Structure 1
Amino acid sequence: MRHEEFITTLNECASFCNYCADACLNEDDINMMVSCIRNDRICAEICSSLSKILSIDVPTKQITAFVEYCKTVCERCAEECASHEAQHCKNCAAACKKCVDACSKFLFNN
């Protein structure tokens, strides 16, 4: 499958974001986690959507802006998650950073 590695990274990021958002709901101070939850949910949706688009082999030029947006969303989510001490947030930040790198690689190569 074309873009298989990128699709895998996007799906992994979406999974970590969904897990993090759910785990944030169990934190003692949920009000402190609202921004993290929102960023997680947005990032998961964007990564999942881009993964689906890539799997139907859309011409690269038609999705460049979406990949750039995905990169921005992942950067924002990584930054937010990195600001929290919870392990699920740290894991999510790492997955988002990996996705940022994958987006950058895609944009550089296409």
Structure 2
Amino acid sequence: MAVSTGPESVRTGINRCIAACDALVTVSEDCAHACLRIKGNGDITRCFFADLDCIEVCSSTSRLLSWHARKDGLMTIALLETCREAARASIAACENMARLHPGWHTCSMACRRVDEACARLLAVLR
């Protein structure tokens, strides 16, 4: 399938990425709060900080994308790559928590949506 590089596909990719990032911020905040309710160990701390990192990076990505409608920004590309890395780190931390704590509700699905939305937008921007 060919990737369209017209302005509509860029705008669509930006909108999808903003929506995915905003949704992940909410879910990651809930996950971080859940981490705080559990008596701590290294795994909980890793999950908590992965959530906080994801919140900050996704918030910044969403804000940057909301005012950058062009496809010529190296900063945009760097932040999208960073957003993917933060989402992947959060996936790993949350899935580890789910293995250790049955019934743990993870933000993995929301993280995967961010990773995919950023990857698609990067493909259009490059």
Q: TM-score, normalised by structure 2?
A: 0.77
SS class of match (1:30)? coil
Q: d(CA) in 2 for partners of 1:53 and 1:25?
A: 29
SS class of match (1:59)? coil
The answer as to 2:88 corresponding to 1:75 is yes
Q: d(CA) in 1 for partners of 2:16 and 2:85?
A: 20
Residue 94 of structure 1, CA deviation:
1.2
The answer as to 2:45 corresponding to 1:30 is no
SS class of match (1:20)? helix
Aligned-residue RMSD, C-alpha: 1.4
Q: d(CA) in 2 for partners of 1:57 and 1:69?
A: 17
Cα deviation per residue 1:14-44 (whole Å; 9 max; x = unaligned)?
A: 11111100111112x3223000000000101
Q: Which runs of 5 or more structure 1 residues have no equivalent in the other structure?
A: none
Q: Which residue of 2 aligns with 1:20?
A: 31
From 59, 64, 83, the equivalent of 2:77 is 64
Q: TM-score, normalised by structure 1?
A: 0.88
Alignment of 1:1-110 (within 5 A): 2=11, 3-27=14-38, 29-31=39-41, 32-57=43-68, 59-62=70-73, 63-85=76-98, 86-88=103-105, 90=106, 92-110=107-125
Residue 59 of structure 1, CA deviation:
3.3
Residue 47 of structure 1, CA deviation:
0.2
User: Percent identity at matched positions?
Assistant: 27
Residue 60 of structure 1, CA deviation:
2.7
